[in-house]
Chain A
Amino acid sequence: MTGLPDGWEVVVGLEVHCELATATKLFCGCANAFGAEPNTNVCPVCLGLPGSLPVLNRRAVELAMRIGVALGARIAPSVFHRKNYFYPDMPKDFQISQYDAPINRGGRLELPDGTVVGIERAHLEEDTGKTTHVGGTGRIGGADRALVDYNRAGVPLVEIVSAPDIRSAAQARAYVAELRAILVATGASDGRMEEGSLRVDANVSVRRPGGPLGTRCEIKNLNSMRSLGRAIEFEAARQIAQCAAGGQVVQETRHWDEDRGETVPMRSKEEAEDYRYFPEPDLVPLEPDQRWQAEVAASIGPLPAERRVRLLHLLGAAPTPAQAEQVRSVVASDLDALVVAACEHGAPASLALARTANEVAAEPSSAARLDPAAFATLLVLEASGELATSQSKQVLAELLATGGDPAEIARRLGFEPMDRGELAGVIEQVIAEHPEDWARFAGGEDKVRGPLIGAVRKATGNKADPAAVGRYLDERRARGS
Chain B
Amino acid sequence: MSPTALELAAAVRTAERSARDAVAASIEAIAAGDGAIHAFVEVLADRALARAEQIDAAVAAGSDPGPLAGVPVALKDNLCTRGVPTTCASRILGTWCPPYDATVVERLERAGAVVVGKTNMDEFAMGSSTENSCFGPTRNPRDHARVPGGSSGGSAAAVAAGFVPLALGSDTGGSIRQPAAFCGVVGVKPTYGLVSRYGLVAFASSLDQIGPFAATVADAAAALAAIAGHDERDSTSLSDPVPELAAAVGRGVLGRRIGVVKELVDGVDRPVAARAREAAEAMAAAGATVEEVSIPQLRYGLAAYYLLAPAEASSNLARFDGVRYGLRVDAPDASAMNVATRTEGFGAEVKRRIMLGTYALSAGYYDAYYARAQRVRTLVAQGFGRAFATFDALLGATTPTTAFALAERTENPLAMYLSDTCTVPASLAGIPAISVPFGADPAGLPVGVQVMAPALGESTLFAVAGALERAAPPERRP
Q: A53-B235, A86-B338 are in contact. List 13 more A-B contacts (CB 8 A).
A: A48-B324, A50-B319, A51-B86, A51-B201, A52-B199, A55-B235, A88-B334, A276-B314, A276-B361, A276-B362, A278-B315, A281-B236, A283-B235
How far is it, in angstroms, between the C-alpha of A53 and the C-alpha of B323 when the chains are bound? 19
Residues on the A chain within 8 Å of B323, using CB = 88, 148
Counting chain B CB atoms within 10 Å of each CB, which of A49, A51, A82, A146 scores highest? Answer: A51
B370 contacts chain A at the CB level, 8 A cutoff: yes
For A, the interface residue count at a CB cutoff of 8 angstroms equals 30
Q: Within the complex, which residue of A51, A276, A282 is in contact with B102, where a contact is CB–CB below 8 Å? A: A51
Residues on the B chain within 8 Å of A146, using CB = 334
Residues on the A chain within 8 Å of B205, using CB = 281-282
Counting chain B CB atoms within 10 Å of each CB, which of A82, A146, A148 scores highest? Answer: A82
State the Cβ distance, A55 to closest chain B Cβ, in Å: 5
B109 contacts chain A at the CB level, 8 A cutoff: no
A-B contact pairs, 8 of them (CB 8 A): A50-B319, A51-B102, A92-B318, A276-B363, A278-B370, A281-B236, A282-B202, A284-B236
Interface string of B76-111 (1 = CB under 8 A from A): 001110000010100001001011101000000000
Within 8 A of A (CB), among B319-378: 319-321, 323-325, 333-335, 338, 358, 361-363, 366, 370
State the Cβ distance, A231 to closest chain B Cβ, in Å: 27
Residues on the B chain within 8 Å of A277, using CB = 361
Interface string of B192-223 (1 = CB under 8 A from A): 00000111111011100000000000000000
Known A-B contacts A49-B325, A50-B96; A92 and B362 likewise in contact (beta carbons under 8 Å): no
Residues on the B chain within 8 Å of A397, using CB = none
Whether the pair B197, A53 counts as a contact (CB closer than 8 A) is yes
A234 contacts chain B at the CB level, 8 A cutoff: no
B233 contacts chain A at the CB level, 8 A cutoff: yes
How far is it, in angstroms, between the C-alpha of A141 and the C-alpha of B336 when the chains are bound? 12
Interface string of B236-267 (1 = CB under 8 A from A): 10000000000000000000000000000000
Interface size class of B (residues with CB under 8 A): 35 or more
How far is it, in angstroms, between the C-alpha of A44 and the C-alpha of B101 when the chains are bound? 11
B312 contacts chain A at the CB level, 8 A cutoff: yes
Whether the pair A276, B319 counts as a contact (CB closer than 8 A) is no
Which residue of B is nearest A54, CB measured? B235
Counting chain B CB atoms within 10 Å of each CB, which of A82, A93, A141 scores highest? Answer: A93
Residues on the A chain within 8 Å of B363, using CB = 274, 276
Residues on the A chain within 8 Å of B7, using CB = none
Residues on the A chain within 8 Å of B167, using CB = none
B232 contacts chain A at the CB level, 8 A cutoff: yes
State the Cβ distance, A252 to closest chain B Cβ, in Å: 18
B46 contacts chain A at the CB level, 8 A cutoff: no
Whether the pair B334, A51 counts as a contact (CB closer than 8 A) is no
Q: Within the complex, which residue of A53, A93, A141 is in contact with B318, where a contact is CB–CB below 8 Å? A: A93
Whether the pair B311, A49 counts as a contact (CB closer than 8 A) is no
Whether the pair B206, A281 counts as a contact (CB closer than 8 A) is yes
Whether the pair B312, A51 counts as a contact (CB closer than 8 A) is no
Whether the pair B362, A53 counts as a contact (CB closer than 8 A) is no
How far is it, in angstroms, between the C-alpha of A284 and the C-alpha of B333 when the chains are bound? 37
State the Cβ distance, B172 to closest chain A Cβ, in Å: 12
Whether the pair A281, B233 counts as a contact (CB closer than 8 A) is no
B234 contacts chain A at the CB level, 8 A cutoff: yes
Residues on the A chain within 8 Å of B236, using CB = 281-284
Residues on the A chain within 8 Å of B335, using CB = 86
Within 8 A of B (CB), among A21-62: 44, 47-56
Whether the pair A51, B202 counts as a contact (CB closer than 8 A) is yes
Residues on the B chain within 8 Å of A91, using CB = 319, 324
How far is it, in angstroms, between the C-alpha of A184 and the C-alpha of B469 when the chains are bound? 65
State the Cβ distance, A25 to closest chain B Cβ, in Å: 14
Whether the pair B325, A51 counts as a contact (CB closer than 8 A) is no
How far is it, in angstroms, between the C-alpha of A462 and the C-alpha of B193 when the chains are bound? 81
Known A-B contacts A49-B325, A50-B98, A141-B333; A84 and B315 likewise in contact (beta carbons under 8 Å): yes
Which residue of B is nearest A283, CB measured? B235
Counting chain A CB atoms within 10 Å of each CB, which of B80, B100, B315, B335 scores highest? Answer: B315
Q: Within the complex, which residue of A44, A50, A56, A84 is in contact with B86, where a contact is CB–CB below 8 Å? A: A50
Residues on the A chain within 8 Å of B102, using CB = 51
Whether the pair A88, B80 counts as a contact (CB closer than 8 A) is no
State the Cβ distance, A154 to closest chain B Cβ, in Å: 14
Whether the pair A50, B93 counts as a contact (CB closer than 8 A) is yes
Whether the pair B321, A93 counts as a contact (CB closer than 8 A) is yes
State the Cβ distance, A251 to closest chain B Cβ, in Å: 16
Whether the pair A284, B235 counts as a contact (CB closer than 8 A) is yes
Q: Within the complex, which residue of A51, A86, A88 is in contact with B98, where a contact is CB–CB below 8 Å? A: A51
Whether the pair B233, A55 counts as a contact (CB closer than 8 A) is yes
How far is it, in angstroms, between the C-alpha of A92 and the C-alpha of B100 when the chains are bound? 18
Interface string of B297-320 (1 = CB under 8 A from A): 000000000000001101100111
Residues on the B chain within 8 Å of A47, using CB = 324
Which residue of A is nearest B199, CB measured? A51
Residues on the A chain within 8 Å of B318, using CB = 84, 86, 92-94
Whether the pair B319, A53 counts as a contact (CB closer than 8 A) is no
* Shortest 6 CB-CB contacts between residues of A and residues of B: A93-B318, A281-B206, A276-B361, A281-B205, A50-B201, A51-B80
Residues on the B chain within 8 Å of A92, using CB = 318-319
Whether the pair B96, A278 counts as a contact (CB closer than 8 A) is no
State the Cβ distance, B239 to closest chain A Cβ, in Å: 11
Counting chain B CB atoms within 10 Å of each CB, which of A44, A146, A278 scores highest? Answer: A278
Which residue of B is nearest A28, CB measured? B233
Whether the pair B333, A274 counts as a contact (CB closer than 8 A) is no
How far is it, in angstroms, between the C-alpha of A86 and the C-alpha of B323 when the chains are bound? 11
State the Cβ distance, B234 to closest chain A Cβ, in Å: 5
State the Cβ distance, B166 to closest chain A Cβ, in Å: 21
State the Cβ distance, A110 to closest chain B Cβ, in Å: 37
Residues on the B chain within 8 Å of A282, using CB = 202, 205, 234-236
State the Cβ distance, B237 to closest chain A Cβ, in Å: 9
Within 8 A of B (CB), among A107-146: 141, 146
Residues on the B chain within 8 Å of A94, using CB = 315, 318
Whether the pair B315, A276 counts as a contact (CB closer than 8 A) is yes
Known A-B contacts A84-B315, A278-B311; A44 and B100 likewise in contact (beta carbons under 8 Å): yes
State the Cβ distance, A299 to closest chain B Cβ, in Å: 25
Residues on the B chain within 8 Å of A50, using CB = 80, 86, 88, 93, 96, 98, 201-202, 319-320
How far is it, in angstroms, between the C-alpha of A52 and the C-alpha of B103 when the chains are bound? 11
How far is it, in angstroms, between the C-alpha of A86 and the C-alpha of B333 when the chains are bound? 13
State the Cβ distance, B82 to closest chain A Cβ, in Å: 11
State the Cβ distance, A92 to closest chain B Cβ, in Å: 5
How far is it, in angstroms, between the C-alpha of A274 and the C-alpha of B363 when the chains are bound? 7
Residues on the A chain within 8 Å of B200, using CB = 51
How far is it, in angstroms, between the C-alpha of A88 and the C-alpha of B334 when the chains are bound? 7
Whether the pair B99, A44 counts as a contact (CB closer than 8 A) is yes
